[in-house]
Amino acid sequence: PLEVRTDEYPPLAKFAADFGILELNADPMLPVTLRNVEPEIAGMMVEVEGGAGNFDPLPARRFDLPLSGAMQGSIFKVPSGKPEQVFSWIEKVAGRRREDRDKSVFASTPGLRTKPFRVPKLHGDRAFEVVGIPLKEPGFYVVEIESEILGASLLGSPRPMFVPTTVLVTNLSVHFKMGAESSLVWVTTLDRAAPVKQAALEVCDCEGKSLWKGTTDGQGV
Q: Predicted confidence band at 59 (pLDDT cuts at 50, 70, 90)?
A: very low
Q: Per residue in 62-97, pLDDT tens?
A: 223 344 456 777 888 888 777 778 888 898 999 999
Q: Per residue in 161-211, pLDDT tens?
A: 999 999 999 999 999 999 999 999 999 999 999 999 999 998 888 877 888
CA atoms within 13 A on the CB side of 197: 3
Q: Predicted confidence band at 116 (pLDDT cuts at 50, 70, 90)?
A: low
Q: Per residue in 20-36, pLDDT tens?
A: 999 999 999 999 998 88
39 φ, ψ (degrees, to nearest 5):
-75, 0
Q: Per residue in 96-110, pLDDT tens?
A: 998 999 998 888 777
Q: Which of 76, 70, 111 is nearest to 90 (CA)?
A: 76
Q: Residues 6 or more apart from 109 whose CB is under 8 A from it?
A: 76
